Amino acid sequence: MINEYLIQDAKLLSRLVPKGVDLIVSSPPYFDMKDYGAPGQIGFGQSWEKYLEDMRQVFAECAAVISDTGSMWLIVDTLKRKGAQLLLPFHLVEVASEAGWRLQETIIWKKDRTLPFSTKGEMRNIFEYVLFLTKGDKFKCYPDRVRSYDFKHWWVKYPERYSVSGKAPTDVWEFPIPVQGSWGNEYVRHFCPLPEGLVMRIIDLCSDPKDLVLDPFAGSGAVLAAAYRSDRRFIGLDLNPDYKAMFDNYMPTLMKREEDAEVVETAKVVASTIRKLRLLKLPSALLKALRRDSPDFLTAIDGVEIKMLDEPCAGRHSLWRAEYVFYLREDLGVDFLDQVYGRLKKAPLSKYGIEAQVRVECRPFEPAQTAWYYKWDATYLAPSRDPDGSSPRLTAPFSFDPKEEKLLRRYR
């Protein structure tokens, strides 16, 4: 069974859906908030106890069909009942755990758009909860696919603290609510369609192409559409045939999703820039540390040449191998090398991802390339001239290309 929207009761889903579902993404009915106009619907007209009992049953059905590597994501909001806030997401986690699920993470979905007013005792509501649940600990999760590049200026000064693959996702996600009627080419008339970007982030994070995605409360079919566009298979269930008719209508207009060329390019430029910044900063930071150990060392150092080594790294956390050649005005003996390696082995220099090999040459530094003058306070800059002619100079077998320069300029 592939790509189906069934008019069926979610409480019976294990009879209809094959075992081995890879990912469940759903926004269940928020207790009795809305009438979805279908007999047998969960939530509307039910008592609180009956609602939780039905939701427990749906979660048990979901647990029965999910694969060992699968996960279930729920998008839920709180609501007000009898003058008090009802923490619906927390109650649903409780019944889901009774049905065999474990909560892995709670994410805040910042919606940005809301009604311009609020009622007494309430603020304007601009967030909902996204709950990430699994049955076991073998679940798929690929945070590298959803990294971001919205760095603060710190990354230029501290490139060793930023991953070459961007920033790991946080637990606050910002996606505007879709405007009804502006989704795809077709009019979408549903109370709460989910934003495509939010669903796609979950799909990227926890599934692979061709995997099977299930939404037991499919509504307008936002999850099914995002799954289809992301090259996944899908099954959706709902009781309201109008929603299915609407989905059937716009489904043929859906296009497969294309890789965002700008994001791919940014990722490449960020990775290469961080690599160069780290390779340049390591000897700069080393010189700074050596100055603290003994000012005499520094006066004896004429320059440092960075050479890239092609051999594979030995350490699991190392990314690159480099040789740093120290040109000394006078022989500093073995003590100097011991001091250098001692520093390199310790944090923070050991955290740069660089396997550094150090060589000493007792002769003046005659750089073949333009020298980068070491600055105490801005190790990442390559000034065009040495301010007083006394700082050790650095050379590297690379410079920043125009795209990297442009990126760096944004943060200087």
Ligand X SMILES: C[S@@+](CC[C@H](N)C(=O)[O-])C[C@H]1O[C@@H](n2cnc3c(N)ncnc32)[C@H](O)[C@@H]1O
Q: Return the number of the residue (40 or 333) whose C-beta is nearest ligand X.
A: 40
Residue 23 identity (one-letter amino acid)? L
Question: Least distance in Å: CB of 238 to ligand X?
Answer: 4
The C-alpha atoms of residue 318 and residue 158 are separated, in whole angstroms, by 17
Q: Return the number of the residue (64 or 325) whose C-beta is nearest ligand X.
A: 64
Q: Return the number of the residue (10 or 396) whose C-beta is nearest ligand X.
A: 10
Q: Return the number of the residue (179 or 362) whose C-beta is nearest ligand X.
A: 179
Which single residue brings its beta carbon nearest to ligand X?
Answer: 219
Question: Least distance in Å: CB of 68 to ligand X?
Answer: 25
Question: Least distance in Å: CB of 72 to ligand X?
Answer: 14
Question: Least distance in Å: CB of 38 to ligand X?
Answer: 5
Question: Least distance in Å: CB of 140 to ligand X?
Answer: 22
Length of the chain: 412
Could you tell me if residue 166 is left (phi over 0), alpha (psi between -120 and 50 degrees) or otherwise beta?
Answer: left
Q: Return the number of the residue (174 or 323) whose C-beta is nearest ligand X.
A: 174
Question: Least distance in Å: CB of 259 to ligand X?
Answer: 24
Q: Return the number of the residue (241 or 342) whose C-beta is nearest ligand X.
A: 241
Q: Tell me if 7 sits within 8 A of 245, measured CB to CB.
A: no
Question: In sequence order, what are the residues at sequence separation of 6 or more whose Cβ sits closer than 8 angstroms to the Cβ of residue 258?
Answer: none
Torsion angle, CA of 80/84/85/88, rounded to 10 degrees? -80
Q: Taking each helix axis from N to C terminus, what angle separates 88-98 and 48-65, rounded to the nearest 10 degrees?
A: 50
Q: Return the number of the residue (36 or 234) whose C-beta is nearest ligand X.
A: 36
Question: Least distance in Å: CB of 136 to ligand X?
Answer: 26
Q: Return the number of the residue (241 or 315) whose C-beta is nearest ligand X.
A: 241
Q: In the structure encoding, which two tokens stand for residue 194, read together?
A: 């989910």
Question: Least distance in Å: CB of 58 to ligand X?
Answer: 7
Q: Tell me if 11 sits within 8 A of 57, measured CB to CB.
A: yes
Question: Least distance in Å: CB of 237 to ligand X?
Answer: 5
**CA 133 → CA 13, 20, 95, 143, distances in Å?**
18, 16, 12, 16
Q: Which residues bind ligand X (CB under 6 A)?
A: 9-11, 27, 29, 36, 38, 40-42, 190, 192-194, 217, 219-220, 222, 237-240, 243
Question: Least distance in Å: CB of 276 to ligand X?
Answer: 44
Q: Return the number of the residue (232 or 343) whose C-beta is nearest ligand X.
A: 232
Start-to-end CA span in the chain (Å): 55
Q: Return the number of the residue (13 or 349) whose C-beta is nearest ligand X.
A: 13
